[in-house]
């Protein structure tokens, strides 16, 4: 990708800050694996990782782009009430760095505990909207699998007037030393390195690079998927069967009518990692999310950025009714119900069958 292309500065800062945050979160994983390092009886490790990563990401971006807004999953309310937890997060934030001095110098960090808390709240209190530039982040997408040392994502996306412009997905445990099928698995973990980063800029393609300890590693372009000859029976779904918000009875009927395998051939907890799977693992090619409750709307940080990556590798992303997924309605995808992310050649087939199944027991 040319360094003179549109959003080049934003992309470089975004990639560097995700790399720094990913390194911090992976250090927590290493501590979890030491018996006496962290209390594993509650969610303290992932709580610390969430807060530290959000503070670090927003600090770097707010310093570089002071007029931009933020939407993040966390607020600092818990830290303001728990001094011990606050001190542990502050220690982690204060010690965070990249090994390359030039790269590290480009990323601001909070100077005080109060500044750290205020930066966290910039994201946690952010409301989004249809105007201006807004950074959407999930410091640890996949908290349950993070605690198990499995797959998770440090995700970041830039919205401009409600449109996705860039997305960066840091995958600290993603190991890709196998062929192009069956690469993404919860238990296939990069224990020797820092994983992979997948990123995209609207209209400029999707890319992958190794996550490193210092400056950014060289990136290579991910090919657009050549799925023009796919038939409905060739659909291979990635999903999460442990999700309590997905209607698997309806989804199983969709798969049966398409002639696609059931259950889904890949089961991944992290929402953002499912988009990563579409980009790097040719065992799967589609994601369909039919929600149980009509009122359910997904958090924007679970999909922003990942949807852009899917678009840039040749997938069409809509809601269950074939409408564009809106990112301009605040902290959720309020205008959109469910997700269909699939190659253009079969997206229409999936949409047709989903519509039939929903019509038989209308609730959405």
User: Around Cβ 179, how many Cβ atoms within 10 Å?
Assistant: 10
Catalytic, 25? Answer no
Which of the following is catalytic: 47, 143, 145, 246? 143
CA distance 337 to 293: 10
Which of the following is catalytic: 17, 25, 50, 349? 50
Catalytic, 143? Answer yes
User: Around Cβ 104, how many Cβ atoms within 10 Å?
Assistant: 16
CA distance 36 to 32: 8
Active site residues: 50, 143
């Amino acid at each position: 990708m040319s360094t003179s292309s549109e959003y080049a500065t934003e992309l470089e800062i975004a990639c560097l800050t995700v790399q720094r945050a990913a390194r911090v979160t992976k250090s927590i994983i290493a501590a979890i694996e030491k018996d006496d390092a962290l209390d594993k009886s509650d969610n303290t490790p992932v709580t610390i990782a969430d807060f530290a990563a959000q503070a670090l990401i927003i600090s770097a971006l707010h310093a570089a782009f002071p007029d931009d807004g933020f939407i993040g999953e966390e607020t600092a309310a818990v830290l303001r009430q728990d001094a011990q937890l606050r001190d542990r997060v502050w220690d982690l934030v204060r010690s965070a760095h990249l090994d390359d001095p030039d790269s590290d110098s480009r990323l601001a960090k909070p100077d005080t505990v109060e500044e750290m808390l205020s930066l966290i709240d910039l994201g946690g209190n952010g409301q989004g909207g249809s105007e201006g530039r807004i950074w959407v982040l999930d410091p640890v997408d996949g908290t349950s699998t993070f605690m198990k040392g499995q797959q998770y994502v440090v995700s970041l996306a830039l919205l401009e007037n409600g449109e996705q412009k860039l997305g960066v997905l840091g995958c600290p445990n993603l190991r890709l030393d196998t062929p192009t099928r069956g690469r993404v698995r919860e238990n296939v973990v990069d224990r020797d390195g820092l994983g992979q980063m997948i990123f995209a800029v609207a209209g400029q393609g999707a890319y992958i690079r190794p996550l490193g300890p210092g400056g950014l590693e060289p990136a290579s372009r991910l090919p657009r998927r050549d799925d023009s000859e796919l038939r409905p029976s060739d659909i291979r779904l990635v999903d999460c069967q442990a999700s309590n918000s997905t209607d698997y009875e309806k989804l199983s009927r969709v798969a049966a009518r398409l002639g696609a395998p059931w259950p889904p051939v890949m089961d991944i907890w992290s929402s953002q990692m499912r988009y990563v799977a579409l980009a790097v693992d040719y065992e799967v090619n589609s994601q369909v999310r039919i929600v149980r409750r009509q009122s359910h709307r997904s958090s924007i940080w679970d999909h922003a950025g990942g949807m852009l990556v899917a678009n840039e590798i040749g997938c069409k992303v809509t809601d269950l009714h074939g409408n564009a997924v809106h990112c301009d309605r605040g902290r959720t995808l309020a205008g959109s119900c469910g997700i269909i992310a699939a190659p253009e050649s079969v997206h229409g087939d999936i949409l047709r069958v989903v519509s039939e199944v929903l019509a038989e027991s209308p609730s959405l």
